[in-house]
Each structure stands twice: as C-alpha cells, then as structure tokens.
Structure 1
Amino acid sequence: MNGSLHSSRDALEIKLRRGPAGLGFNIIGGVDQQYVVNDNGIYVSKIKQDGAAAQDGRLQEGDKILSINGIPLENRTHKSVVELFRTAGESVELRIQKKPFLEDQPTDSQPEHHSPSSYLEILALFAGVIVLLAVAYKMKK
C-alpha cells in the first residue's frame, strides 16, 4: 500500500501518493451534474487499473469524496473539484464515505415509475380474470 487509513465513524481518511499516471481515478458529481438525487457530492466513478488508487486498494468506485487535503467538496461544481485535484500536490489526503447510497440511488438507477395507464391495464386484467372465474363458476352449477 502507498498510503495510510484512519477511520472516524462513517468517514475514512486515505492518503495517496500521486503516481506516474496521477491519482488513478475519475470522479463524477457536483452541483452542476448530480450523480445521486438530492446530493451535490463528488463520487469515484472509475478506478484506473494501474493507478495509485488501484495499487492502494482502499478507494472504490461509488465511494463519496468528502474532502481533499482538508477542503470540503460539498456544493462545488465538478470543474472546481477537478481543479482542486489537479493542484493538490504529490501527497493527497482524501476523506471519503464508503458507497453511501443505500437509500439514495444514482440518478440513472432510480426505481422505474409506472404511469397511471399501466396500473389501469393491470386492474383491467385482474377484472377480466374475475369475470372469467365467475362465468366458469355459474356454468359449473
């Protein structure tokens, strides 16, 4: 491992040393491109195979990055966070939250919402089955 790990309740602190290919991960999110509904946070979208993050092994896709070198990332644009990472130096301290969205889901994986017409179709099918059962019952008598 090329870093250290400190835990405090839900947040973890990970120190990474920038390698030849940088820190070795991509981010998604920010106030201008939410990844999780009602959350302006920054998330790890991809871990690059031979990058510093992959070699360290603790940062995972889906982890939320709370701060970089003590600077909070909440309510920042994606571009401003990219700039913070770009100018962060050789040794970077990340405060992260491991895959936090159990209740909230990424915007592209929200549960499917059905239109009222689909519920009417189900109700009509159910009513048809009841009518068929009633007719079959009367014919049997």
Structure 2
Amino acid sequence: MALKNSGKHLVLTIRHEPQPKGLQEVYFSRRPNQPIGLNICGGIHSPPANMNDLTDEGIFIEKIEKDSVADESGKLRIGMRILEINDDSLLGCKQIEAANLFRKADGTIRLLVCDGFNTIDESVSIFYP
C-alpha cells in the first residue's frame, strides 16, 4: 500500500554488498577423465568445513594434489571457498552435487573462488602420493 501512496516519484536506494575478499577466477585445462587433483569439503547437510563458522555451508578446497591440473595454476589454496564451477553456482549445493560438477567438467575449467578459512599449516593438507 505504501508504494501506491508514494505519489508520482519514488526514490529507491540500492546498496551493493562488497565483493568477497580474495575474489578471483582461476582457469586450468583438463583432458577427459583426467583427475583434477582437488578434494572438496563442506556443502549443505555436511559436517562443517569452516571451523570459524559452524553454520557456513560453503564448498571449500580440502586438498590439492601436488603437480595436478588444479595445482598448476598456483592460485588455489586449501581453505578457499569455491563459488562457481564454470557457470554453475555452488551456493546452496551439497558436496556430492559439487563433486559431480567437477567430474563432468572437461577442457578449460573456470573456478570462481574467494578467501574462505585459513588452515594453520597448509602443508598438512596437501596430498603427496
């Protein structure tokens, strides 16, 4: 009712939330059926991955295999939040849904990532075969 009674002119104020800290796109190439070398954790209905915020249901990088296609960019870090895989959003996503998006992605893969949580010692979580 308030909009109808506002008269001929209406002033709207639009506020944009700031971009997440560390927001960046990371690209790497993958041949069909080639392992990406990335383990993920988190997602809705999963145990919390971000120990700084137990209500955070984001998808995070858990492990990066040394010398894998994911490691080659040099930009991915353990604890980073993955927002998108190619054009698919991971917001409100289950871990299995995110894993399936990784499995079906071939060729050039684009990840939209931002800072997530910091690990005390990243070398503990890096997988060395």
Deviation at 1:43, TM superposition (A): 0.4
Residue 35 (str. 1) matches residue 49 (str. 2): yes
Deviation at 1:53, TM superposition (A): 1.7
User: Hey, which bits of structure 1, 4+ residues long, moved more than 6 A?
Assistant: none
Matches within 5 A, 1:1-141: 10=21, 11-18=23-30, 21-33=34-46, 34-36=48-50, 37-98=54-115, 100-101=116-117
Gaps of 5+ in 1: 1-7, 106-141
TM score, norm. by length of structure 1: 0.60
* Letter of the structure 2 residue corresponding to residue 96 of structure 1: V
More deviation in 9-18 or 51-60?
9-18
Q: Distance in 2 between matches of 1:91 and 1:77?
A: 23
Q: Distance in 2 between matches of 1:65 and 1:85?
A: 11
Deviation at 1:101, TM superposition (A): 3.1
Larger proportion of helix: 1
TM score, norm. by length of structure 2: 0.65
The root-mean-square deviation of aligned C-alpha atoms, in Å, is 2.1
Question: How many residue pairs get matched?
Answer: 95
Larger Rg over CA atoms: 1
